[in-house]
Chain A
Amino acid sequence: MREPDGYLALILHAHLPFVRHPEYNDPMEEYWLYEAITETYIPLLNVFNKLIEDGVDFRITMSLTPPLISMLRDPLLQDRYVRHINKMIELVEKEVIRTRFEPHFNRTAIMYREKFYNARYVFSEKYNKDLVNGFKQIQEAGKLEIITCGATHGFLPLAYHKNSVNAQIKVAVDHYIENLGRRPRGIWLPECGYNPGDDEILKTYNLRYFITDTHGIIYGTPRPKYGIFAPVFCKSGVAAFGRDMESSKQVWSAKEGYPGDYNYREFYRDIGYDLDYDYIRPYIHESGIRMNTGIKYFKITGKVGLGDKQPYDPRAALDKAAEHAGNFMFNREKQVEHLHRIMKRQPIIVAPYDAELYGHWWYEGPAFLDFLIRKIYYDQQTVKLITPFEYLEKYPKNQVLTPCYSSWGYKGYAEHWLSGENDWIYKHLHKTYEMMKELTEIFIKKPLSQIEERALKQAAREILLAQSSDWAFIMKTQTMVDYAVKRTKVHIHRFYRLYDMLKSGNFDDGYLSEMEWKDNIFPNIDWTAFNF
C-alpha cells in the first residue's frame, strides 16, 4: 500500500460532570449518564469491537475524563443503570405491542427493543458493568488512544492560582494510571482552554500533547508555518494540535452539518411527553414529572413544528449516514491532497468532537463513524487514520511557537465561563485554592492523624468538584441552573467546613463520613497536589 497523502485524527471527548447522589432514590441528573451509556458509550464500543472483529485497522483518540471514568466504575451508578435499562426494556416491550397496527412506528419500536436488550447484555454480561474495561481493551488492541483531561474538567484559563491547574492535571494523571494501567500520553484540556504557560505543568507530568482550537495555533507567536495541519511545540516541548474547522463544521453544525438532515431522528420528540400520562407514568421520573425516555419515533422532517414531524425510518436514516460518511471522506481526501501539495509533507487533520454528540444528539452518529472508518480502510489510499501521538513519532521535528490563549467555547475565549450569569463563582473558587494551599503548607510538614488525612483528602475532592466547568456552562446556557448553582455552593460550603475542622482540630466525624459517602470521587487523591 502506498504512503497516504495525509492523516486524519478523529478525537472524541467523552465527559460528564460527576453526578452521583446516593442520598436520593431517583435523581434526574443521573439520567445524563444513563442516556449517554445507552446512546453513545455502548454504541461506540460496539462499533469499535465489530471493526476489530472484521479486521478493519483503525485509529481513534478519546478522552475519557476522570469524572466519567469514576461514574462508570461506581457500583451504585452501575446498579442504577441496570435498574434503568430494565425499566426501559419493560417499556419498549409494551411499545412493540402498542404500535403493532402502526407499522411506521412499530419498526422503530423493534429497533429500540434490539438496542436496549443489546445495551443490557453489553453492560451487564459482556463487561460485567464496567465499560471502562471495554475501552481499555480497545486501547490495548492498539486501535484506541485514551487521553486524559482535567481532574474534574476545570476551565484552566480562569484558574488564577496555578496550584489549581497543577491539581487538576496531577490528580487526573494519577487517576488515569490507576484506572488504565499506564501513563497517559496526551490530554484534552477542558473546553480546549489553554493559557500560555500551562504547558509547563503538562510537561511536569510527561504529557506529550494537547489539543487547541484553530485560533490557538493560527494566532500563535510566531506565525505557524503549516497552519493547523502540523503540530507545533510549545517552548516546554509539549506539542499542540490545532482543530480543523472544515471537518468540524460538517458535524458540529446543526444547520449546515450532517446531523440536521431531515431523515435523521428528531431529538425533541419523546414518548415521555407524547403518550398518555397513566400509560407512561411508571417510566418517567418517580415524582411524576414527565421526562425523556429515549424512545423517539419521529424524524427531523424539515423546518416544521414539533407537531408536524413525520415518522422515523431507521433504514433510510442509515442510508443517509453511509452517504454522509462517503461525503466526509471525499472532502478529507481532497483536503489532504491539496495540503500535501502545498506543505510537501503529510498533513494531519485534527477533528475533535464531543463524544456524546455521536448517539445522544446525533442518533445515527455511531453508525456514521462505523461507515467512515470502513470506507477509509477499504475505499481509498489518500488519507489514513492516525493518533496525534503516532503523528509525533512520524514527524518528531516541529515548529516552536507559543499558542494563543483560547478555548473551543462560544467566541473562542473565556466568555462563556465568565459572564453576568456565572462570574460570581470565581471569587469563591479562587478563595478556596488559596485556603487549600494554606492547608497543604501547614499539614505537609507534620505527621498526620487518620482523621486529618481523611479531611485533607476530602477537602481536595470538594475543591475539585466545585471547579467543574460544567456548572458555569449550565448557568450560562440556562438549562438546569438551580442544580448547577447548588452544586457549586455545596462543594464550596463543604470545603469551608473541612477547612474549619482542620484548622481548629474539632472534627465532625459524622459530617466528614457523610461527605466521603456522597463525594466519593478519587479515593486515593493526592491532596499535596495543591502545594504548588
Chain B
Amino acid sequence: MLDKKKRVVRKKGKIEKQKDTTAGKVIKKQEEIQEKKLETKRRGRPAKIKVKETIKDMMEHKVVASEEQTKIESVKYYPVQMEEKNGKKHIETMPKPERKETEIPERYNDNKIVLLARDPYWCYAYWDIAPGYMEEKAREARKTGNYNLIIRVYDVTDIVFNGTNAHKFIDIPVNGDANNWYINVWASDRSYLVDLGFKTQDGKFILIARSNVVTTPRDKVSDKTDEEWMLVEEDFDELLKLSGAGKFGSSEKFKMRIEQELLSGSGAVSSFSSPVYKQEAKGFFLIADTELILYGATEKDAKLTVKGEEVKLKEDGSFSLRFHLPDGQMNLPIEATSSDGSQKRSINITVNRKTE
C-alpha cells in the first residue's frame, strides 16, 4: 500500500516537472512565432508556417486512419471463415476445375521496362527481357571487362528527354536475375524515367530498355497560390438534359445562380471566362454572344446592392460589373444606402435578350 502511494507521489513530481519544461517550451515557441511574425512583417509576406504544420500533423494522422479503414474494408471480403478461431486460413471449398485455367505465361520476353509511381518517394519498375537479347547486350558489355546490371533513374521533370538532358540521374545496381525493383526516388512531385542497362568497368552505359515517364505525387501543400476560377457552363444545358434534368433543379434556376454568382463574386474572384456559344464551326463560322456592363456611382461611403447582393465600391464611389447576358429577361434592382442609413436611392433596370 505504502509503496503504491510513494510511486504515485513520485509520478506526480515527474509530471509537474514535465509541465514546467513544456511551459518553457511554449513560451519559447511563442517567442519564435513572434520573431517570425516580425520577420515576415519586415519582408511584407504573410506567415504560412502554421498552416503547413497543421497539415503535416493531419497527414500523419491520416496514415493511421487509413490503416484502420483498410481493416474495416477487408471485412467485406471476410464473412465466411475466421482465422482467429482455429488458426486456419481460408480453405478452398471449390473443387479444382477441369480446365487448367490458372495457367498464365510466366514471361513475355518483350524487351520492355515499365515504370509505375507508387507514392511520393517510391516507384516500381518491372521488365521482361528476352534471354537472347540480354546475352547480346552482355557480350557488348563484356568487351571492357566487368559489368553490372543497373537501373539509371533520370529526373526529366518538364523536359522532353533526349537521352542526355536530364536534370539529374542516379544509378541503382540490381541483381542480374531480378525482373522488378522498387526505386526510392529523391523528390516528390517530379517526373522520372528509367533505363535498364549494363554499366561497364570503364563507366560506359549499355542500354537494354527505356521506360515510360511517371510523375510522383505531391506530399505537401503547393507553394503556388495564384488562383484561377472557372465557371463551367458550356454544354451545361445539354448535359443537364442528358442527365435527366428536373429532379435536382432546372437550367433556368442554374442560370439565375450564375448571375447571382457573378454579381456577388467580385470580392473573391480574380478572373472568369464567359461561356461562348458556338454554332458548328466548319470552315465558315459565326460566333456571337453578349455581355452586360453595369456601371454607375454613388457616395463613396454608401452601401450598394445589386439584386440584393452587396457590391464593393471603388475608392471614388463608382462601380462597374460585367457579366454574361443570356437569353431572357434579367432584372437588376440597384439600391444605395447612405452610410448612416438615413437615405436610400434605387434604380431598377430590366434587360431583355432574344437570340434568333
Contact = CB atoms under 8 A, between A and B. Distances in A.
A and B part of one assembly: yes
Interface of A: 16, 21, 23-24, 26-29, 31-32, 35-36, 139-140, 142, 145, 157-158, 160, 181-185, 196, 206, 208, 214-215, 218-223, 225, 233, 237, 239, 245, 248-249, 252-255, 259, 267-268, 273, 285, 287, 289-292, 306, 344-345, 354, 356-357, 360-361, 387, 389-390, 392-401, 404-406, 408-416, 418, 423, 426-428, 430-431, 470, 473-474, 477, 479-483, 485-486, 489-490, 492-494, 496, 511
Contact of A27 (B93, B120, B248): B93
Given A410-B66, A410-B70, 10 more contacts: A28-B80, A29-B80, A31-B80, A254-B72, A306-B84, A387-B248, A397-B229, A397-B231, A490-B102, A494-B101
Contact of B119 (A31, A287, A414, A479): A414
A249 B105 CA distance: 43
15 contacts: A32-B76, A206-B235, A214-B62, A223-B223, A254-B72, A357-B72, A361-B76, A387-B248, A410-B70, A412-B63, A412-B66, A412-B119, A418-B118, A418-B124, A480-B90
Interface string B114-127: 10111110101010
Nearest to A362: B72
B258 to A, nearest CB: 6
A408 B66 contact: yes
Given A160-B114, A493-B102, A28 B93 contact: yes
Contacts of B215: 196, 405
A183 B245 CA distance: 10
A233 B74 contact: no
Contacts of B110: 431
Interface in B52-107: 55, 58-59, 61-63, 65-82, 84-85, 89-95, 97, 99, 101-105
Interface in B108-149: 108, 110, 114, 116-120, 122, 124, 126, 128
Contacts of A473: 73-74, 77
A489 B221 contact: no
Given A396-B231, A426-B126, A404 B218 contact: yes
Given A399-B228, A492-B104, A252 B65 contact: yes
Interface string B202-231: 000000000010011111111111111111
B102 A221 contact: no
Contacts of B119: 411-415
Contacts of A140: 247
B192 to A, nearest CB: 13
Q: Taking each of B219, B227, B230, which has the highest tally of chain A beta carbons within 10 Å of its own beta carbon?
A: B230
Contact of A223 (B221, B239, B247): B221
A94 B56 CA distance: 55
Nearest to B67: A410
Contact of B76 (A356, A392, A396): A356
B253 interface: yes
Nearest to A39: B79
A184 B243 CA distance: 6
Q: Taking each of A245, A404, A485, which has the highest tally of chain B beta carbons within 10 Å of its own beta carbon?
A: A404
A470 B248 contact: no
Contacts of A357: 72
B65 A245 contact: yes
A404 B59 CA distance: 14
Contacts of A291: 79-81
A23 B79 contact: no
A158 B212 CA distance: 13
A396 B59 contact: no
Given A291-B81, A412-B62, A493-B103, A218 B73 contact: no
B311 to A, nearest CB: 15
A252 B65 CA distance: 8
Interface in B253-298: 253-254, 257-258, 261-262, 265, 267-269, 272
A360 B216 CA distance: 36
Contacts of A36: 76
A219 B230 contact: no
B90 A360 contact: no
Nearest to A395: B261
Contacts of A483: 90, 92
B39 interface: no
Contacts of B249: 390, 393
B337 interface: no
Nearest to A36: B76
B179 to A, nearest CB: 8
A479 B77 contact: yes
Given A418-B118, A418-B124, A490-B101, A245 B75 contact: no
Given A245-B65, A397-B229, A489 B224 contact: no
Contacts of A413: 118-120, 217
A219 B217 contact: yes
Given A221-B218, A415-B118, A361 B72 contact: yes
Contacts of B235: 206
A261 B30 CA distance: 39
Contacts of B227: 222, 225, 399
B2 interface: no
Contacts of B253: 393
B233 interface: yes
B234 A237 contact: yes
B244 interface: yes
Contacts of A392: 232
Contacts of B118: 413-415, 418
Q: Top 6 A-B pairs ranked by shortest CB distance? A: A405-B217, A222-B224, A413-B119, A182-B244, A219-B218, A477-B74
A70 B4 CA distance: 65
A23 B265 CA distance: 62
Q: Taking each of B118, B235, B268, which has the highest tally of chain A beta carbons within 10 Å of its own beta carbon?
A: B118
A182 B79 contact: no
B15 to A, nearest CB: 24
A139 B246 CA distance: 12
A405 B92 contact: no
Contacts of B68: 252-255
Q: Taking each of A139, A354, A479, which has the highest tally of chain B beta carbons within 10 Å of its own beta carbon?
A: A479
A400 B228 contact: yes
Given A404-B217, A473-B73, A268 B67 contact: no
Contacts of B78: 479-480
Contact of A219 (B71, B222, B268, B269): B222
Contacts of B49: none
Contacts of A493: 101-104
A473 B76 CA distance: 11
A410 B212 CA distance: 26
B119 to A, nearest CB: 4
A481 B90 contact: yes
A278 to B, nearest CB: 18
A306 B68 CA distance: 20
Given A215-B62, A393-B254, A426-B116, A142 B248 contact: yes
Contact of A273 (B85, B217, B265): B85
A397 B269 contact: yes
Contacts of A409: 66, 70
Contacts of B81: 28, 289-291
